[in-house]
A and B are shown apart, each in its own frame.
Chain A
């Protein structure tokens, strides 16, 4: 009887532990914010924003630098934006995004705008739940590409007051690892060749930059989709070009 009772107790304890573990697992973010003091707002924002940022960067990279491509071509069921385009035959293309880096930075910025606000809102709630008085002034934020990283500089002055005093943060600096800067440099170079000569030789890029793979895909309408891949991380940047297209036959 004692043994049976003992067993029952162990089973109950085991169930309680498992249930607790499940609850902790399911509600960890809330639990963590409720029971643990937020030490570093920057870390909180980084954690909050990182996933969205990476996801959007990935999408933008694979769609010619646009989150919602408009002047695009379908390639393997994805819309790929043209960096260089002419609707005509026989002509070399015109650059559609002459300042590509800026354009991509703007796209990334627009794509995470709501997430940034949401993350700051979460941060405020979290801090206030812990008895802090939080003031956030929504200012500007910027996205900038650098070699090997993307920096999001959020100029949302933050003031946290509690019994210990007041701390302020003028800006929050978020970084994620990304080779988009290098990929865009190669893409700009290829687009320049496309605009100037109507085509770009891919082997040269791969020979000069062994960590880069450049794939050129020709589509039925004469458009080309370039896929630039960083071999070590498998990050990709895809873009389309339509330049110096010759119609079937001699004049169609």
Chain B
């Protein structure tokens, strides 16, 4: 049976509202507290506060950022979870890192290595060389490589000699390969191995460009029987023919059996249409001008053939097709036409204008970006994706960029003349995460944000007191919208919540117009919601926004200002013509590649609050908002009431005195002014005594002045009497009278003002909460995802279209987004779990009661958490009044997500605290407290909402508070380490209830005897994020352990009242310890140093740093950079201990000075640098001396080398394997036999295989040739 109460509260509604507001306010703290209490990751000492949570969040961000920049930051480095290595997991994946708590599920016991993979001998990462094939595999594990007979080298990027590629010439063809592979291919293709077929080139394109030149070196190989073959000199020699370089077999001088221009055909691996002679030899490129094509029987290269600079697409007269220009030889068909002398054509490979090509003609090889909707400015729509399309062989290919906008498509257009352009596009990693990270450093945020083309400075400028810039992503990343991945959900909630803001609006009560807004007035307008929602959207899939088809939902909470609706953003669903993301600048690439292009000079941001110490602009902005309000109060209202008015009073006084004293005869005007001045001064004193401000203070001063003036004037009228009576001068009498009358008038007016409340200040908190975006609760638009083969549906796209949309056939080529059948039933709510000490009672379909285990009401300031369960995924909201679902604004802890469990957390205020608020509480308050009802409604994925409230009935214990306050956490945390030589530090403690606290250096003192008083926030209405706070500056700290003993006393509203004895005080001290640092943190050594010479560029370099001292034998985080210490922000790959390593740095030759900055947990810092000179040796050895020694030829080279000689290869293009060695190992001394008459063609190679293009030296026994 439902309890009924008779209320005798004078203003019942007022109380009810006060309680409800209070609970709602406190519930936000409670929710934070719940997160803290329930998240196992947060249970370590170091992660006890919300502040720490934000630090953790940004640590994640930082690691991501480092990863994107260096692709080398260890996974989970900041998660605090032990990392272990699975040598081969259940799926067969080798050398995978897993956290210790999950590794057993995926890795057989005998495959677990208790440590990091890189510490396991078989999982070391390096380069695997297949010495048979001459191929190199980067980032290969030692075990996998060596088990198959590969050669493993400790350079994961394969920047080693064996893997250096060049151009391998294989008859007419070329291949970009290593030298060993070239030998292998030469063997396969029957190319003379003895020749040096491996040529040094810079890149693959250069190699491919060699092919036509090589073809030009061919010629006719004529045999005695009149047969002929077009081939290379080498091949011809092998075949025993007579080689005629540059001749076609049909050349009349050769007298072969081959007839010219017998037929026409395409050739495998060639673009062009060719003539063939009657022997089947390929002749020159087809031209309808047969004579020109035959060229008198001489070979023509491509450039000498017809129309060489054109693709010759569909040309009937020229077969000089060019793949790179967009054509290739193809059999003719009815659509293409054909050349005049055969059924072939240079097929046009461009893609005609169509919907697929964005309505433009696209050339072969051209690529361009396609988007779903508006992009950039933080407005990419939910579910949208970037796409790259390319035209390949006349067909449009689609390459989606990573989903969730993990990649963005960038496009660059090159002007190719005639108003035509050629587009090149690519999917690049979205560096959105770096943008948020920049906010950590207020000094550099603006600069860095502007430099990163993926970031933008989002300006929030609502009012002069609520104004800041935040670096956000230009293309915000998408979130997992399904909400089944707890970690992703938490991450999304945390990220969105960075835009949670509070603006304090100041009202002052005016004399005539009542309450008038004085500061941050625009925060109560829609501008506040709009600008905050824009910030919210720019953080990711948050806020009131739309999906890529223009449907949306509202996911914000706004208190005190008009809301903004998703419908106002519909325009962003439309594509904007010409809109695209530009590629990164060289500077950006430099920055990613460790070579910073940043200007080292840094401007200090005028917006100091940005980022503060944490980068948590949500918190910081709140602080600044408060600071600016305070500043307004201090410099504005308070200043106005004190300084100007005081000045005004003095001025009148001064002027009155000036004008009143000189003359023996006092003018009426002088007396008036004098009286007014004194009256004004009296008025200002009265205003101050009454604590009046603003209009009220002015009114009092003016009243004093006017009354004083007339008092002075009146005194003049009765001066004879007055003078006779008082025996004083008329002038002074006038002032005295003015002062007295002015004082009386001021007192009267002040009392009236006080009664009317004029000049009072009222703070109104306007709040904005940014929540993760949710798809519309229906499945009406699921089909929009299907049917477009150029934009295949994905889980993210599908889930953005409706909560009832589901992707099926995920692994097929045509996944389908379908609607979950709507059963038309509303979610059924049942109680599930409740925190210890409480229980559910009398539950039924309509609700449940919550009481303590003793069936009593909930005690004040005790955390109560409970979970309601729905029989299907649903979103739940609540309020303390019954409202429709859309009107409800408070969400469960799961916020906007659709889940089956719905968590609620509360800390109930005490009755005394309600009274402390100053509400008009009278009557039987206990009874009202005894019947609080929370109304819950839930909506399922199809939008079915329970119309009847599910009511949580609970009561708050109205008895006296009998528990002492509890310290929840501290900042810095208890047992933290101090930076060496720190002598003072600011301490903040967080309490479960408003209280006053003190600390002492001696334990066990009575609270009253403790002298160090902390500055505590005792406002019941303002619990902060992690609890009520007390602050103090701890001084006299040493480098040893520093102990402090804290005690607190609750119910500060009873201080110095008759109820003082009701207050609860801690009996036991809270021992707070700060450990000092005894030894400074030091960098002991750095590596590498000096000169490093190599023959390959880039060179892979490993950095190593050793540290000692600090809080734990050198354990610290070391970061490095190339500009200066301030910009040294890249954490080394392996850091955290006292040996720090960075592998895989790829550097070009040059001198390097790397700045290293190590910092331990206490903030002790050590600076150092790594200096080395990286030299590239591309020079072949030089013969410095050559002479006969003991009957042998001795050759001395300028560096260690291996030398070989041949007796019959004057050009020295022989393969050294087939030559005679002069050296047994790399040396500067080389020997050969000294035989008269022989000429030695000597070639020397250094340790980097640098060899000369010709002979190092040619020598006979008598002379150097």
Q: Which residues of A contact B (CB under 8 A)?
A: 70-72, 74-77, 82, 84-103, 146-147, 185, 188, 191-192, 195-199, 201-203, 206-208, 210-211, 213, 215-216, 218, 220, 222, 231-232, 244-252
Contacts and interface: CB of A to CB of B under 8 A. Distances in A.
Contacts of B60: 250-251
Nearest to A93: B139
B149 A248 contact: no
Interface string B112-134: 00000000000001001010010
Interface of B: 57, 60-61, 63-64, 67-68, 71, 73, 75-76, 89, 91-98, 125, 128, 130, 133, 135-141, 144-145, 148-150, 157-158, 185, 188-189, 204-205, 208, 268-269, 271, 323-324, 328, 365, 367, 390, 392-393, 397, 399-404, 406, 426-427, 429-430, 432-433, 436, 477-480, 485, 487-488, 491-492, 494-495, 540-541, 794-796, 810-813
Nearest to B175: A185
21 contacts: A71-B91, A76-B813, A84-B139, A90-B73, A91-B67, A94-B125, A94-B139, A98-B145, A99-B148, A101-B133, A203-B390, A210-B393, A218-B403, A220-B403, A244-B67, A247-B480, A247-B491, A248-B477, A249-B479, A251-B61, A252-B488
A77 B815 CA distance: 11
Given A90-B67, A188-B137, A248 B478 contact: yes
Task: Select the residue from A88, A207, A248, A249 with max chain B CB neighbours within 10 A.
Answer: A249
A87 B485 contact: no
Nearest to B145: A98
Task: Select the residue from A100, A196, A218 with max chain B CB neighbours within 10 A.
Answer: A218
A99 B130 contact: yes
Contacts of A94: 94-96, 125, 139-141
Given A74-B811, A203-B390, A92 B96 contact: no
Given A198-B71, A210-B328, A246 B404 contact: yes
A196 B157 contact: yes
B93 A218 contact: no
Contacts of B811: 74-77
B39 to A, nearest CB: 14
Contacts of B139: 84, 92-95, 195-196
A72 to B, nearest CB: 8
A74 B810 CA distance: 9
Contacts of B64: 90, 246, 250-251
Contacts of A247: 404, 480, 488, 491
A220 B71 contact: no
B404 A95 contact: no
Interface of A: prevailing SS? loop
A208 B392 CA distance: 12
Contacts, number: 208
Given A85-B93, A90-B75, A101-B130, 18 more contacts: A87-B93, A87-B97, A88-B97, A94-B96, A98-B145, A99-B150, A101-B133, A102-B148, A202-B399, A203-B392, A210-B323, A213-B393, A220-B796, A246-B406, A246-B430, A249-B478, A249-B540, A252-B488
Given A222-B402, A249-B479, A250-B61, A211 B269 contact: yes
A249 B404 CA distance: 7
Contacts of A195: 137-140
A72 B494 CA distance: 33
3 A-B pairs with the lowest CB-CB distances in the bound complex, closest first:
A252-B488, A70-B92, A98-B128
A247 B486 CA distance: 13
A69 B813 CA distance: 19
B406 A222 contact: yes
Contacts of B397: 215
B485 A201 contact: no
Nearest to A206: B392
A216 B795 CA distance: 18
Given A77-B811, A82-B93, A88-B97, A201 B426 contact: yes
Contacts of A102: 130, 148-149
Contact of A71 (B93, B125, B485): B93
Contact of B488 (A211, A222, A232, A248): A248
Contacts of B95: 94
Contact of A208 (B208, B478, B495): B208
A96 B477 contact: no
Given A95-B141, A98-B145, A203-B390, A249 B477 contact: yes
A34 B269 CA distance: 46
A92 B488 contact: no
B432 A250 contact: yes
B108 to A, nearest CB: 13
B328 A95 contact: no
A213 B485 CA distance: 37
A96 B93 contact: yes
Nearest to B390: A203
Task: Select the residue from B125, B138, B478, B488 with max chain A CB neighbours within 10 A.
Answer: B138
A216 B389 CA distance: 12
A197 to B, nearest CB: 7
A27 to B, nearest CB: 41
B61 A95 contact: no
Given A85-B93, A90-B63, A102-B148, A95 B140 contact: yes
Contacts of B796: 220, 248
Contacts of A98: 128, 130, 137, 140-141, 144-145, 148, 150
Contact of B204 (A198, A208, A252): A208
A117 B623 CA distance: 80
Contacts of A85: 93, 96
Nearest to B71: A92
A200 B190 CA distance: 33
Contacts of A231: 393
Contacts of B400: 218
A95 B149 contact: no
Contacts of A206: 365, 392-393
Given A76-B811, A210-B323, A252-B492, A246 B269 contact: no
A220 to B, nearest CB: 5
Contact of A220 (B432, B433, B794): B794
B399 A216 contact: yes
Nearest to B435: A250
Contacts of B541: 249
A245 B429 CA distance: 10
Nearest to A189: B135
A61 B494 CA distance: 45
A99 B404 contact: no
Contacts of B393: 206, 210, 213, 231
B514 to A, nearest CB: 47
Contacts of B133: 101
A220 B795 contact: yes
B73 to A, nearest CB: 7
A96 B145 CA distance: 9
Given A99-B148, A203-B390, A197 B128 contact: no
Contact of B324 (A72, A95, A207): A207
Contacts of A84: 139
Contacts of B140: 94-95, 98, 195
B487 A252 contact: yes
Task: Select the residue from A93, A211, A250 with max chain B CB neighbours within 10 A.
Answer: A250
A185 to B, nearest CB: 8
Contact of A96 (B94, B130, B540): B94
Nearest to B163: A192
A93 B97 CA distance: 12
A146 B185 CA distance: 9
A197 B428 CA distance: 11
A76 B812 contact: yes
Nearest to A185: B135
A250 B403 contact: no
A89 B75 contact: yes
B161 to A, nearest CB: 17
Nearest to B392: A206
Nearest to B493: A249
Nearest to B490: A252
